[in-house]
Structure 1
Amino acid sequence: MTSYLEFEKPIAELDERISELQETADNGELDIAADLKRLQKKSERLLKSTYKSLTPWQKTQVARHPQRPHFQNYITHIFEEFEPLAGDRAFGDDQAIMGGFAKIDGRRVMVIGHEKGNTTESRIKHNFGMGKPEGYRKAIRLMELADRFHLPVVTLVDTSGAFPGIEAEERGQAEAIARSTQTCLSLHVPMVACIVGEGGSGGAVALASAERVLMYEHAVYSVISPEGCASILWRTADKASEAATAMKVTAADLKKLGVIDEIVPEPVGGAHRDHEQACVALKTAILKHLDELSGLSDSELLQARHQKFLSLGEL
């Protein structure tokens, strides 16, 4: 059952009316097929028009939707023969960042990504996708392993940011994020990063510093959350909507700025409404970019990656 967001209330009311009519029709009391068809078309039109004109803040809400696909869903729908690898070989295993060997359309890759969880228990287990130092050090280990075996790296980014707890700082959170970012930039193999939900702060950049960055249509990517930005600028999180607009967090804005390379379309109403269709679109985009990068030499890959980031902000 779809969970509706605040701005989707008119759609929710229509869908509720449709459900009531369907129950009546199932009882065989009335022939209401025509009314049902009319309401369903109206609901589809309303959903389409609503999602065509989302504000940056509304897109942020969609990106955070609890029913959006998560890492495990992408593994199921996009990759085959996933072999998870655990631990940073220094402290422990962070369940917020997962990864391992896999195949995509028969091509061997290393896939790494954030997992938020989809139930109360699993969200706690995966720390809501907020990586700790050992998570980023695990990512470093897996990227270096991919480099050694000449495997392309695919990352799935979906985090509100790295874990801000004191224990993470004690274990070197900033250093782990910096080294993970450095490792991304120094790989001699193709790397494709996918912003699939929230791309928050350094916790996202640490897995997204690739020569090709893809982004779902309704995902967001920013240096800080809109609430955090509003708290700093206006001393209140109530200005989050204004902050989201000013920060240019949407895929369309970031494509214009050259931060991302391709916008991946989502099903009407967002990826949370049709996981399979969303995954098909993402898989197609990943394969396209892997094919384009496969013909580049090590030095060309490094040059392309470095040039991408050095040119950001040029007038």
Structure 2
Amino acid sequence: MTASNSAIPIEAVLSIPELLEAILLSLDMVTLLVSAPRVSKRWYDIIAGSPAIRQALYFDPVPVKASSSSSKSGANDGSATIKPVLNPLLAKKFAPCFFDFGSKAYFRRANSFYSMPWTVKPRKEVLSEDGIMESLPLYPLLDPEGPCDQADRRRFTQRGASWRRMLVSQQPPLQLGHLWSDEQYRWHTLFWDAKVILNTDATHGGLRMGELYDLVQDHASDHQRHSLWFRVHWGQVRAPFFCDFSENASRQMICHTGVVVEFHEVDDVYQDHHRDPIDPDAFNLVFRCDEHRPLQIGVTGKPPTAAVDWNPAVLSYGWGFDGGVY
């Protein structure tokens, strides 16, 4: 058989959309996302129009009846969890700030954005004495950047970046637990809790990485206190805890949402910390996306259970308290 004759069966197979779709689904996620659509316009159209491929790339949610990986588990301590199948590409590119699966869930500050794998020369993280993860060096503004470094960062922050449209998991969370505290000075802490920040409309599909990223990046950059600590819990909440209230609130929320983002805004009583970020404009220049939009905090869809509607709480320490709610 000549080379030209042997190519005929291959062309015949690839000309059948159903067979080509099956072959494409066997590719790894990066190849399917980046390389395969560039082969030809026909391949691009098939990838863009295939529900199965769009689900494999986490652009569309897998129908509930077709998802056998997501499961619910219960425990007597109130730590019942929804265990999603997390998007492996996002978990790789946005660890450790957004996907920390260590034995403990340490708090982070804006500084830790420099440790994400997609940043220029990712920095190693170290654990400070008070349990905050920091990236080295601890006092970054902007590194000297050449054209190649700038282009590398722009691949992630530029308009149209595909990762922003990706679901964080299959099945994707339709709600996002949100916990916020404002420590004005030592022994005087205000707590707010706004549970649901996602539109649960079916056309939305669930939590997208762009929404999660914008929420954390926006708060990490723009806050009133000396520092803002944050962390993201997936499926279950893990120690160390800011206080008993934050632990209990997080455990209750994650039962219904599967993911909780925790923020603690702290004042300048922590003299061993530099203000973070030192220069918010410089931080935004590096990490704010062209399509950034602030997420409105509050209930934007009908909660699936009454348990999600429990009232915001105020916790006080020491000599007095004050507080408010969203």
Higher relative CO (Cα under 8 Å, sequence separation at least 6) belongs to 2
User: Who wins on radius of gyration, i.e. which is larger?
Assistant: 2
**Greater fraction helix:** 1
The answer, yes or no, to whether TM exceeds 0.5 is no
Query: TM-score, normalised to structure 1's length?
Result: 0.26
Query: TM-score, normalised to structure 2's length?
Result: 0.26
